[in-house]
Amino acid sequence: ETQLSEMTEEDKQEVVDHVETSLDYGESYNLTENDMAMYNAITAERAEKKIPEQSFSEYLSELHKDDNGSKTVALLPLGDFYEAYNEDAENIARELDIASAPKIIDGKRYIISGFPKHALEKYVDTLTYKGYDVVIADENKKSYRIVSADKVVPEQSEQKTDTVENAESLVGKELTIDDRKFVVDSINTDFNSASLRDITFQNGTGFPIFRSE
């Protein structure tokens, strides 16, 4: 078994995060006796040293210090999850259609909502698309990064413009499907559909018909 003296502060924090996340999400079956022994030893050591720590509410306020009136949510890593708290939790629960629940931290009641770390990119994309700036805290609570909605929306708009231009370039192109010849008559990028004029039928009958793809 690893002794506390052999562990770095980062190692100790990983143990604390693992235990607290498992308890928060009802996964205590993942915890071994050694996990709990290490957790109790680490928390006891910290209490004995009386290391002054920034309160949790102060840390949340710090993450929002650059909001400047923008819609912002802060995400904090905890074990295998990212969590948001209070108003941030309510916002991501609503926008991402995920659950929220109460949690006691430092003797205070918070509302939390979260998702697995592997889903971070997908959910951040959704939030920025809906106009939110997303503050992503680092594991050590010493730094954070901001993904801004202002930087994402123009890129998405540009991608849509490129898609429309590419679609328009296909109009008038001749295609062969099942030994029949068609010409692309029009493309609707909003519904991802195309109208094709049946040239084979037109040449045989003298009038055109169209099919949608």
Q: What is the pLDDT, as a whole number, of residue 160?
A: 44
Q: What is the pLDDT, as a whole number, of residue 51?
A: 54
| More confident site: 160 or 58 | 58
Dihedral angle over CA of 122, 75, 115, 13, nearest 10:
130
Q: What is the pLDDT, as a whole number, of residue 166?
A: 59
Asked whether the beta carbons of 75 and 63 are under 8 A apart, the reply is: no
Q: What is the pLDDT, as a whole number, of residue 159?
A: 44
Domains and CATH numbers, the chain: 4-49 (no CATH), 56-150 (3.40.1170.10), 170-212 (no CATH)
Which helix (H) or strand (E) segment is 185 a member of?
Answer: strand 180-188
What percent of the chain lies above the pLDDT cut of 90? 25
* Bridge pairing between strands 72-78 and 133-137: parallel
Q: What is the pTM (predicted TM-score) of this model?
A: 0.51
Q: What is the pLDDT, as a whole number, of residue 173?
A: 79
Q: What is the pLDDT, as a whole number, of residue 112?
A: 93
Mean predicted lDDT score pLDDT of the chain = 78
